[in-house]
Amino acid sequence: MAVRPDQLRIVHYPDPVLRRVAQPVEAVTDEVRAVARRMLQLMHEAPGVGLAAPQVGLPWRMFVANPTGEPDDDRVFINPVLSGPSREAASQQEGCLSLPGIQGDITRPTAITITALDLDGRSFTLTSDDLPARVWQHETDHLDGVLIIDKMPPIDRRANRRLLKELETAAPG
Ligand code: NI
C-alpha cells in the first residue's frame, strides 16, 4: 500500500478503521517517518495532545503525542508497549479527535511505563505519573480498536448519545 502522507486526514467515528487491531510497523522507513510528520501536523492543527495512526486511516501500531504543545515535546511512538501500570487510578475528562464534541470521564492508572521505537528505529522507555501517562494509554487503546465511548461511565454515554447518533448519521457511505 502506497501512502500519500499529504492526503491523510483525521477520520471520525464510526469509521471501521478505528475498530481494527492495528498491526506492528515492520520497519521504520522513510514512509513511516513521513506519515509521523503528517500526523504531528494534523495533531497540532486540530489541536490535540495525541493522534494514533488508525485515526488517519492507517492500521499501524504508531502514535504521536505532545502533552504540552511545545514544539520540543513532539514525540513519536512506534510499536508501543505499556507496562507497570500503577495500582492507583484516577478519573479525568477525555476527548478524542475522532469523536468531535464528545467527552467523558475515563478511569486509568495514574502512572505507567511505555517502551517504543523512535523515528530512527531505536528503542526508548519512558515513565510518567502525569498527563503523558494518560495520553499514552488513550493512544495505545486506539491501536487496539478501543475508544473512549467504550470506557466512559453510562452517565457520560447517555449525555453524548445525540452527538454519537449525529456522527453515525454523518458517516459517508
Ligand atoms: Ni483519541
How remote is the CA of residue 120 from the centroid of ligand 1, in Å?
25
Task: Give the position of cell 470506557.
Answer: 151
Contacts of 117 (CB under 8 A, 6+ apart): 25, 28, 77, 78, 79, 123, 124
Convert the pLDDT of each residue in 120-165 to its tens digit. Answer: 999 999 999 999 999 999 999 999 999 999 999 999 999 999 999 9
Which neighbouring-strand residues pair with 75? 65
- Put simply, whether the predicted model's pTM sits higher than 0.85 gets the answer yes
Torsion of CA 131, 137, 138, 140, to 10 degrees: 140
Per the structure, how many domains does the chain have? Answer: 1
Residue among 86, 77, 69 at smallest CA distance from 125: 77
CA angle 144, 126, 124 (to 5 degrees): 85
Which range of residues forms the domain containing residue 149?
5-170
Contact present, 56 and 38 (Cβ < 8 Å) = yes
Tens of pLDDT, residues 45-83:
999 999 999 999 999 999 999 999 898 999 999 999 999
In the reported structure, the alpha carbon of residue 9 is separated from the centroid of ligand 1 by a whole-number distance in angstroms of: 14
Q: Which residues are catalytic?
A: 139
**Cα(41) to centroid of ligand 1, in Å?**
16
- Centre of ligand 1 from the C-alpha of residue 98, in Å: 6
Residues with CB under 5 A from ligand 1 (ion): 96
**Rounded to whole angstroms, how far apart are CA atoms 91 and 122?**
33
Which pLDDT score is estimated for 172? 66
Q: How many CA atoms lie within 13 A of 18 on its CB side?
A: 20
Q: Any idea what the CATH number is for the domain that residue 82 is in? A: 3.90.45.10
